[in-house]
Chains A and B, each alone.
Chain A
Amino acid sequence: MEGSIEQQSGPVSDRPVDTSSAPTTPAEPEGLSKNARKKELKNKQKEEERRRKEEEKEKSAAMTKSQVQKPLVADDDDIDPTQYFENRLKALAAQKTAGENPYPHKFFVSMAVAEYAEKYGALESGQHLEDVEISLAGRIMSKRSSSSKLFFYDLHGDGAKVQVMADARHAVMDEAEFSRFHSGVKRGDIVGIVGFPGKSKRGELSVFPKSCIVLSHCLHMMPRQKVVPGSDNTTKKETRYRQRYLDLMLNVDIQQIFKTRAKIVSYIRRFLDRLDFLEVETPMMNMIAGGAAARPFVTHHNELNMKLYMRIAPELYLKELVVGGLNRVYEIGKQFRNEGVDLTHNPEFTTCEFYMAFADYNDLMDITEKMLSSMVKELTGGYKVEYHASGYQNEPIEIDFTPPFRRIDMIEELERIANLSIPKDLSGDEANKYLADACVRFDVKCPPPQTTARLLDKLVGHFLEETCLNPTFIINHPEIMSPLAKWHRSKPSLTERFELFVNKHELCNAYTELNDPVVQRQRFADQLKDRQSGDDEAMALDETFCTSLEYGLPPTGGWGMGIDRLTMVLTDSLNIKEVLLFPYMKPVDEPPTKGTW
């Protein structure tokens, strides 16, 4: 696309240099070709692939040109980054001294870049609509020139891009001014353009400026190299997360991840709103961190001289609202857990929890199937998504969201697969010993404390979760693992609970809520025992919550889902950091790197 105009109108001398230095697609940098392949596999769109190739070509072309034509364009890309920054600061200071404002307050934009591409995409090759005046704005991501009278730019705005073909003949400025202005425009600058639409002879949609203005300046050298997800270069990957704005500028795909994320959240809201759920907000700072088993963050309110915990789950508050008469409530929000950081864990993460009076876990499984399958269908057009579970260099797996999802009974299935016969009384020492032996036998590691709940969890992780690539409900967890779930109506010592696993990771957790206050107090007491035996993730008693149960919680189904993990699956991301705009990073000693990634 972009390169094409140039091939046509650019000086011939460029071409040989261009082709020799611009690698053809197969020889692209490794990270990119992976990404390109992934993209192709995902979208099966040749169009996309073509664009990518050309973009790459154009990029190297621009690079070559800046070297070849330095005297003409006066592009100083190869100078020292610090020097570059100083030079640009000086240029700005000079403008200010001359009484010009280098940062204009407002530029009227008549349409977004994407809108422009859509509206004028159908023009004929070579057609110019000189009577139409439009104004566009965006960031210049590439600059080429063939003479002091003709400059080409790629203008990026909100995920779309368009070519700018600045020809002195169309400009309101005189030639000298035109040349001076355009040599001063740097890659990375944000510009506003007033001009007319048209297509080049080669069919490239362009805008032909009558006037241009720099709206904001990129004072640093804009990095050339894209770093894409799946790249092996750790420092570069880190820089992507630390300076997400650069990542977003350079990789249009990354913006798409966050737009998909917004769509997922919006879909969930619409789905629940249609079922008459009410969105509520409950505190993120509590006196007691309840509703889950995890180490909380602690903070302190100075004026009230009060120790507060960051919430680890909104569960108890939401159930209190159901007691209060709001029969269907949900909250989408941040949870905080004071835990390490890895591929699927960030200290703060987003969940959706909903509570539905008069429903049980069977209803919730139906709702889960309906919500996820219809969401996947709306976002991707089908029920199946491809996911590079074992890295972008390997073949992707296919995850099938076609309902109904597989349902497996936890204890039954564990006994069947591992050929075990677990004692029925799971709270006794016998069961504990049996499971500890089983762990040793199968070489399943369970670091102390070896409570029965933890032993079971490890065995289930080893034998069952591993089989859950497609969405699978693991159901009917034992009471000892589920202090807030109601006892099973027909299976002793089990609860009415399910967890949904997708690609071996837990995505949802739900149960028929325990609403018998006497039993709930007993369960908290049992948790306390586990806590005393060293499990510091056992749940703490919340007195206000127990009192609320004494006022009567209707039969209720409660449900929670990790939004980040769902987004990972639906955007083919392997690391939770890919779906968080600003993931948690260890501090760096030196200030952020400038233009050196």
Chain B
Amino acid sequence: MEALKLSSQPFKILIHLASSKSNPIATVVTRTSYSSSSSPSRRHIVLRCCTTTAATPKVPGRNRRSSSTSATPSSTSDRARVSFTEFPVDELKNKGLEPYAYKWDRTHNANQLQDIYRHLQNGEESKNESDYVSIAGRIVARRAFGKLAFLTLRDDSGTIQASHGSSHMALTYMLFGTAMTMAKEARSPDLYCEKERLMNDQFEQLKTLVDIGDILGASGSIKRTEKGELSVCVDSFSVLTKSLLPLPDKYHGLTDVDKRYRQRYVDMIANPEIADIFRMRAKIVSEIRKTVESIGYVEVETPVLQGAAGGAEARPFITHHNSLGRDLYLRIATELHLKRMLVGGFEKVYEIGRIFRNEGISTRHNPEFTTIEMYEAYSDYESMMNMAEEIVTRCALAVHGKLSINYQGVEICLERPWRRESMHNLVKEATGINFIEFGNDLKAAKEVTLATLADNQQKHSIEACPSVGQLLNEVFEIAVEPKLIQPTFVLDYPIEISPLAKPHRRHAGLTERFELFICGRELANAFSELTDPSDQRRRLEEQVRQHNEKRVAAESREKGKETDNSYEVTLDEDFLTALEYGMPPASGMGLGIDRLVMLITDSASIRDVIAFPVLKIQQ
């Protein structure tokens, strides 16, 4: 709002213009017109009729709209139509009108108007000078009858309503000389335009030069119709940006999923609820920040470009610095640098940032994704479990206002506390196999596993496990993971698969580590951090050795071909040196923000929560 105040000067002029022209409204016409736009769903139907029927052949621009909106909205090439569409721009210019305005002073958005004029009675018009409002948005529907026209504008004043994920604010303005209605349910005012209320030939311009898809600014007075809809009776308007391409049809258009992601802006214009996902995403990230900062965490930024990519096991992206003639890796985790901060004396640090992994794309994987990693000195993995509960529940409450949420048809209950169970017990519960009994006897463990798991599709991967710990994890992934629908902390992972976690204080061979699962997906990964530099060096060396073994094996299998493991893993010596200077006992957690947003916004694919996901090269 401050910004609006900054530039209120020009608007005053507008008000004068408007008030000098405030003729009495033709109420009869108003009433009839309102009745044709009562519910949001009907409005959309009317919209389509309108664009086709209103298509009079006298203006080239109109022809182009009607044919395009009704026929082939999105799948044909956008470019093909531009040659047509430059006509309305020229037409505007010929009339001395600017098709690309410099600015527009908005006084209100739809949401604010709904709020301010909540108490306006049906049929009442507010006539104070202070009730002249100025609004702007994209025209999403338009109907014109003789001396009367209705326009529906959409602005972005959508706020995330508790329990309604998709409540966008469509502003319906009725350009008529002067008016706008808001359908109650959608809270979306209409523009209501009467010929008599508009200056000079503005009404003619409206009918001939203004079309769906254009961005329009309008000002006028506020009225609630007899049907109870808030509307703006327009005194003056201005085309702010002329659209050259037809908007895709919400119901028939944009079935091309690929195009939805490639041209996210088209997707968002056609489906305003898409924008809500990104509003919720912003809200979630902001809630996470608030949560951790309220207990003293400091936000830091660590490098993306690194000499060695550590902190996780993943194939990194490689790039090259020209002037220094050196290859660099894109980070695959922020862990090792954040731990250096603990060594340096920070006690609570976090980073929300982009991570890059050179891996395939899927509904759950994008090559770049966002995580929060956080580290706290003098705490252990128990306290991180509380932290994970705190973060996720606060985000759910911020967006939905409740802790019971729906994900893809499944009811998820986020009431605390969440189940905490060791990996051993979960595997035992699901398969009956008690891995503790095997000790280090890999052979016995494999025999029992193969005999127990009825479905032997995973036979190969089971036999390939080089240790009991890895086998346990394999069985966990096969038999338990998909069943962890309600929030569950899986505790105490085998040491073989947890190179950065501290050995368990009571159970040999295990680590103090947990992963949080919701809806069968890993959402967070945390441990009591390993602080012993000798132990850390041994484990990282082992990791490098195993990777190289796999790499050699894979390369000899598929000679000369790129395999999943054909990248180098190196020791981060500087990190080990940092540990030798002493890192306080600490716990750390990484939480995937994209997955959290998927869960809370009920999105099936990671591409729905990333504005511009990576896609295959277009054919």
Residue ranges of A at the interface with B (Cβ–Cβ < 8 Å): 85, 89, 92, 101-109, 112, 137, 139, 156-159, 188-190, 192, 215-220, 222, 242-249, 255, 258-259, 262, 265-266, 269, 273-276, 278-285, 287, 295, 297-304, 306, 308, 310, 317, 320-321, 323-328, 333-334, 336, 338-341, 347-348, 350, 356-360, 362-363, 366-367, 370, 486, 489, 496, 512, 515-518, 544, 547-548, 550-555, 557, 580-582, 584, 586-587, 591-592, 594
Contact = CB atoms under 8 A, between A and B. Distances in A.
B614 A283 contact: yes
Nearest to A488: B102
B300 A581 contact: yes
B421 interface: no
A512 B241 CA distance: 13
Given A243-B578, A266-B293, A324 B275 contact: yes
A497 to B, nearest CB: 13
A302 B245 contact: no
Interface in B320-337: 320-324, 326, 328, 330, 337
B304 A300 contact: no
A358 B136 contact: yes
Contacts of A321: 264-265, 268, 278, 611
Given A248-B346, A348-B304, A358-B217, A105 B581 contact: no
A325 B1 contact: no
Contacts of A486: 100, 102
Nearest to B330: A299
A14 B346 CA distance: 34
A459 B619 CA distance: 46
Nearest to A89: B534
Contacts of B3: 275, 356, 359, 363, 366-367
B265 A555 contact: no
Contact of A310 (B89, B102, B319, B353): B319
23 contacts: A85-B580, A103-B532, A103-B585, A137-B584, A216-B585, A217-B582, A249-B344, A275-B3, A279-B285, A303-B358, A320-B265, A323-B265, A327-B155, A356-B3, A358-B103, A496-B102, A551-B244, A551-B269, A554-B104, A555-B101, A580-B303, A584-B305, A592-B577
Contacts of A584: 303, 305
Given A103-B502, A216-B531, A548-B263, A325 B269 contact: yes
A247 to B, nearest CB: 7
A359 B344 contact: no
Contact of B317 (A156, A266, A301, A325): A301
Nearest 4 interchain pairs by C-beta: A248-B344, A324-B268, A552-B243, A324-B265
Interface string B298-328: 1111111101000000010111111110101
Contacts of B322: 295, 338
Interface stretch (B35-43, B55-63, B374-382, B491-499): B374-382
A592 B582 contact: no
A216 B580 contact: no
Interface string B565-593: 00000000110011011111100000000
Interface of B: 1-3, 6-7, 78-79, 82, 85-86, 89, 99-106, 136, 138, 154-156, 213-215, 217, 240-245, 247, 262-269, 272, 274-275, 278-279, 281-282, 285-286, 289, 293, 296, 298-305, 307, 315, 317-324, 326, 328, 330, 337, 340-341, 343-348, 353-354, 356, 358-361, 367-368, 370, 377-380, 502, 505, 512, 528, 531-534, 562, 573-574, 577-578, 580-585, 610-612, 614, 616-617
A49 B264 CA distance: 57
Given A281-B611, A306-B617, A515-B100, A301 B358 contact: yes
A106 B354 contact: no
Contacts of A356: 3
Nearest to A328: B156
Contact of A297 (B307, B319, B578, B616): B319
A340 B324 CA distance: 7
B584 A215 contact: yes
Given A278-B279, A324-B264, 13 more contacts: A105-B380, A137-B584, A188-B581, A189-B582, A219-B533, A245-B581, A259-B298, A295-B322, A306-B616, A310-B319, A334-B354, A350-B301, A552-B241
B11 to A, nearest CB: 11
A518 B86 contact: yes
Contacts of A265: 299
Given A157-B345, A301-B358, A512 B102 contact: yes
B330 to A, nearest CB: 7
A327 B361 CA distance: 30
A326 B502 contact: no
A300 B317 contact: yes
B213 A360 contact: no
Contact of B278 (A249, A280, A320, A582): A280
B450 to A, nearest CB: 32
A203 B401 CA distance: 52
Nearest to A548: B265
Contacts of B611: 280-282, 317, 321
A551 to B, nearest CB: 5
Contacts of B154: 325
Contact of B368 (A262, A285, A324, A544): A285
A248 B339 CA distance: 13
Given A219-B582, A324-B265, A325-B138, A359 B614 contact: no
B569 to A, nearest CB: 16
A366 B4 CA distance: 11
Contact of A550 (B82, B616, B617): B82
A326 B156 contact: yes
A480 B240 CA distance: 25
Contact of B341 (A248, A273, A297, A336): A248
B367 A301 contact: yes
A300 B327 CA distance: 13
A275 B1 CA distance: 6
Contact of B574 (A243, A276, A287, A362): A243
A249 to B, nearest CB: 5
Contacts of B2: 274-275, 367, 370
Given A262-B300, A554-B240, A582-B303, A325 B614 contact: no
A326 B102 contact: no
B217 A105 contact: no
Nearest to B105: A358
Contact of B534 (A92, A159, A359): A92
B356 A285 contact: yes
A363 B7 CA distance: 7
Considering residues B305, B326, B581, which has the most beta carbons from chain A within 10 angstroms of its beta carbon?
B581
Contacts of A297: 305, 319-321, 328
Given A85-B580, A106-B378, A248-B346, A555 B240 contact: yes
Contacts of A101: 505
A555 B100 contact: yes
Contacts of B1: 275-276
Contacts of A552: 138, 213-215, 241-244
B609 to A, nearest CB: 10
Contacts of A591: 573-574, 577
A348 B321 CA distance: 11
Contacts of B356: 284-285
B583 to A, nearest CB: 6
A374 to B, nearest CB: 10
Considering residues A156, A339, A359, which has the most beta carbons from chain B within 10 angstroms of its beta carbon?
A359
Contacts of B370: 281
Contacts of B505: 101, 105
Nearest to A366: B6
Contacts of A357: 136
A360 to B, nearest CB: 4
A21 B607 CA distance: 66
Given A302-B562, A363-B3, A547-B245, A283 B317 contact: no
B532 A366 contact: no
Given A216-B582, A245-B578, A301-B614, A544 B213 contact: no
